[in-house]
Homo-oligomer: A and B are copies of this chain.
Amino acid sequence: MALQPVKRKSVSDQVFDQVLDEVVDGGLAVGEQLPSERQLAEVLGVSRPAVREALQRMAQTRLVEVRHGGGATVRDFRKYGGLDLLPRLLVRDGGVDPAVALSVVEARTAVGPIIAALAADRGGPALTGALERVIDRLEQTTDSLAWQELALEYWDVVVDGADSIVYRLMFNGLRAAYEPALPALAPALATEVGQVEAYRLLAAAIGAGDPATARAAAERVLAPLNSSLVSAFTALGTDGGGAR
């Protein structure tokens, strides 16, 4: 049997997860008051500090608002939430939410070329070495999961070369959402394995300092996955814009 690390979740983690689920899945309506810390502690059978830590983290992510003496209220995560809650939205009810996955891939496909162009403009030849090294490892990889990990590493170098803090932080957020879901997505991404040539062309364009070519090359890298997933998910997700 395949053993895996035991899950050790601290009490405050579990409280956080429960409250987060309630907020995201609509068990608690926007504007609604949360139970008081004391009530939550009693109902959940934990101490008040544990509840507090969880609520403070919820406030940190702008999902609830706590006012001294006035209780805590639920905020609209669709209006105030950050990219950091993307992982939670991506895997909903145990499975991957098609609408969210589609949105992630869509954004990836649109923003990737922009970043590639910036990298060509600002990074240029300095990036060639690092990119080639990743490509070499990519070429020897057949496992879908490992392949995606390397692809992320490749883009990490590109984002570095773009030298723009906002894209860097965006990438970090998307990666944090993407990476934990990779095992679940691995089958759908199997078609990408072996498409090394597109990555090589992109690296060449970036190394040559040619933004326009880099943009086009990036589109060729990203478009296949996009179109395949779009067709797969739109056929699946007939529920419409379930997650906007």
Contact = CB atoms under 8 A, between A and B. Distances in A.
Interface string A132-170: 000000000000000000000000000010011111111
B165 A244 contact: yes
Interface of A: 8, 10, 12, 49, 52-53, 56-57, 60-62, 68, 78-86, 89, 99-100, 103-104, 106-107, 110-111, 114, 160, 163-170, 172-174, 176, 241, 243-244
Nearest to A99: B165
A160 B56 contact: no
B62 A60 contact: no
Contact of A82 (B89, B160, B169): B169
Secondary structure of the A side of the interface?
A: helix
A199 to B, nearest CB: 21
A81 B53 CA distance: 20
One complex includes copies of this chain to the number of: 2
Given A114-B110, A169-B85, A56 B12 contact: yes
Given A53-B53, A83-B82, A167 B107 contact: yes
Contacts of A111: 110-111, 114
A160 B60 CA distance: 24
A11 to B, nearest CB: 12
Given A53-B53, A56-B53, A57-B60, A174 B166 contact: yes
Contacts of A114: 110-111
A173 B167 CA distance: 12
B79 A167 contact: no
A46 to B, nearest CB: 14
A105 B80 CA distance: 20
